[in-house]
Amino acid sequence: EVQLLESGGNLVQPGGSLRLSCAASGFTFSSYAMGWVRQIPEKGLEWVADISGSGAKTFYADSMKGRFTISRDNAKNTLYLHMNRLRVEDTAVYYCAREVASESYGHFERWGQGTLVTVSS
Amino acid sequence: DVVMTQSPLSLPVSLGQPASISCRSSQSLVFSDGITYLTWFQQRPGQSPRRLIYKVSNRDSGVPDKFSGSGSGTDFTLKISRVEAEDVGVYYCMQGSHWPLTFGQGTRLEIK
């Protein structure tokens, strides 16, 4: 059974940093691109970033580019999102989601349960 | 960026009645490979999003056939043939044909 389990969400001050993790199981992790999507509380969904199955290719939303870094460790079956220079408006639930192939994007076939990041002083 | 516009944003429906959600994109979603990457997600209260429909009209495994997707180019529709209580939630369309990936604002379906 495909499982995606996010962790690392926390309360952080503006300007601070945080690293989110997504532990994957039930499938061959390296065979699938992965992505992060966020949801501001009671609001809609916003794509954050995607990464290819090998990790060689990454893609970012403009508002996250230069502050967020998506990465993966295929030996540990884990996806990461490193977030720097956090802003109040980054407060959201962050979901990791599985794509359908190693270099196929924008499908989000399976989702994790999400982890809450709160940016506040 | 491709803007995805859903309507209505709120959809009260009586049990057993049909429902229809529109999703329009600001540019064609036909990708260079000829495929249209338009996806529908359902988010029930307190849950993560769940993919229902991909490539306009393909239902995911386990999705009841009361859900159907249609459309082409810039104009797409999600239909529910007979609404049940378990269908309450927010429905999102998303385009995967252009970077950055973009979602519609969401349509909240409620029981009248």
Q: Is A9 on the interface with B (CB under 8 A)?
A: no
Q: What is the pLDDT of residue B60?
A: 97
CB-CB neighbors (< 8 A) of A35 in chain B = 101
Please write the tens of the pLDDT for every residue from B47-63: 999 999 999 999 999 99
- Mutate which of A4, A108, A109 to test chain B, going by most B C-beta atoms within 10 A? A108
Q: List, in sequence order, every beta strand (DSSP E) within chain A.
A: 3-7, 11-12, 18-25, 34-39, 45-51, 58-60, 68-73, 78-83, 92-98, 110-111, 115-119
* Beta-carbon-side half-sphere exposure of residue A100 (alpha carbons within 13 Å): 13
Mean pLDDT of A109-119: 98
List the beta bridge partners of residue A96: A36
The residue type found at B41 is F
Q: What percent of chain A has pLDDT over 90?
A: 96
With 0-12 / 13-18 / 19 or more C-beta atoms within 10 angstroms meaning exposed / middle / buried, residue A62 is exposed
Q: What is the pLDDT of residue A41?
A: 85
Q: What is the pLDDT of residue A5?
A: 98
The residue type found at B79 is K
- Mutate which of A107, A110, A115, A116 to test chain B, going by most B C-beta atoms within 10 A? A107
Cβ distance A44 to B105 less than 8 Å, yes or no, reads yes
Q: What percent of chain A has pLDDT over 70?
A: 100
Phi, psi of B53 (to 5 degrees): -135, 140
Enumerate residue ranges in chain B where pLDDT < 70. none
Please write the tens of the pLDDT for every residue from A41-85: 888 999 999 999 999 999 999 999 999 999 999 999 999 999 999
Q: What is the pLDDT of residue B13?
A: 98
